[in-house]
Amino acid sequence: MRPAQRSHHETLALRQQLIGSSCKLFFSHDPVKIVKAKGQYMYDENGRQYLDCINNVAHVGHCHPDVVKAAHEQNQLLNTNSRYLHDNLVDYAKRLSETLPEKLCTFYFLNSGSEANDLALRMARQYTKHEDVIVLDHAYHGHLTSLIDISPYKFQNLEGQKEWVHVAPVPDTYRGLYREDHEDSVTAYANEVENIIEQAHKKGRKIAAFFAESLPSVGGQIIPPAGYFQKVAEHVRKAGGVFIADEIQVGFGRVGKHFWAFQLQGEDFIPDIVTMGKPIGNGHPLACVATTKQIAEAFAATGVEYFNTFGGNPVSCAIGLAVLDVIEKEHLQAHATEVGNFLMKLFKELKTKHLIIGDVRGSGLFIGVDLIKDQAERTPATAEAEYLITRLKEEYILLSTDGPGRNVLKFKPPMCFNMEDAKLVVDTIDRLLTDMEEQRLNQDKTSTCST
């Protein structure tokens, strides 16, 4: 029997007693206890409704009935490993192949984005016979040891950078090395990667892969300028490496214009390996690696079997198929474009009113609002962003921040997030920013009077 529902205080006390302290809570000073969710809304133990603006895992909406039904019906029939023939596995691979460029035609199924990225790294090294990896600054690719090693966001606070890891600047045209006024930021950022390769070669090192999120998320909701990946891929492939596109945060139609975020770079860009996770199963543990026949054959040439106990099981594949069906049936890709454009428009209008908003960037329902202390230096408004997030929670809106300065409001809501939700969020932020400005003005007046 399940125990009677505990109070907020009891649950928090048990968590502090039993769960590792490195497993952090949102709003740690006053965490929210969530007991159910539906669509873009989450509910606490008192039935209070919160608008979820950050949960890109519940891609087609929390507890979508079609996804729940698919899981339940397959669970009643069979759930086993992929060493047995089953239609769900091949049906799902076929459906995914129809969304990708033709050369990305071989699939491996796993249980998490971290597993997918680890496998992609193994494949790249086996195919190229090289070891070194180039990543973007402040990147995060997963929690496995192999991935902490290629995640500056993590390793900078741990044992530091390994000799085989090379860090390239984020192609951020707002606060990066080459900004919006640079005559050719695409080439300038790509040349940084070329320089890294040249320096590695001088040390006798060889590049296995350039590993990047198609849209850097933890790095601050960055939109790389179109053409950057093409130029980087040219340099990397010339050095004998491959290009790995991490779509774990941003795939499956989130960017609106395209099904995959790497497609924002242009039709002439195709990665060698693509990794998927988070939204792929709408909350169910499911992930995937898609690659070329050549890379897959090189990986198999070791003679060592790749087997993942739960990867590609019938229930997971049924859920994956249901997610694809919902995206198509509910036109969620077009919806992401429409709602995302509306949300960006509202924030850009707000930018003219509140100087703290330095930049508004995004595609579809992947949007970043960069908060700054001053227009000239673009200093991250870290404390202000944290205060705003806390106030929004009090208004029953769940939002979070990202970026090296923790100052970028990140919007990655369930794809059913709608126009009314967008207007509610922007109106609330407008009101809270106005309050913050008035408080600052009153403080300045008090300070002036006291002197």
State the pLDDT confidence band at 447, using cuts at 50, 70 and 90.
Answer: low
Note the pLDDT tens digit of each residue in 369-402: 999 999 899 999 999 999 999 999 999 999 999 9
Count of CB atoms situated within 10 Å of the CB of 43: 17
A 10 A CB-CB count for 350 gives 18
Task: Output the CA–CA distances (angstroms, integers) from residue 214 to 136, 226, 338, 402, in the order listed.
Answer: 11, 11, 21, 16
pLDDT at 175: 93
pLDDT in tens, 160-182: 899 999 999 999 999 999 999 99
Whether the pLDDT of residue 236 is over 70: the answer is yes
pLDDT at 154: 87
Where does the pLDDT of residue 213 fall: very low under 50, low under 70, confident under 90, or very high at 90 and above?
very high
Q: Which phi and psi angles does 317 have, rounded to 5°?
A: -70, -35
Mean pLDDT of the chain: 95
pLDDT digits (tens, 9 = 90+) for 103-113: 999 999 999 99
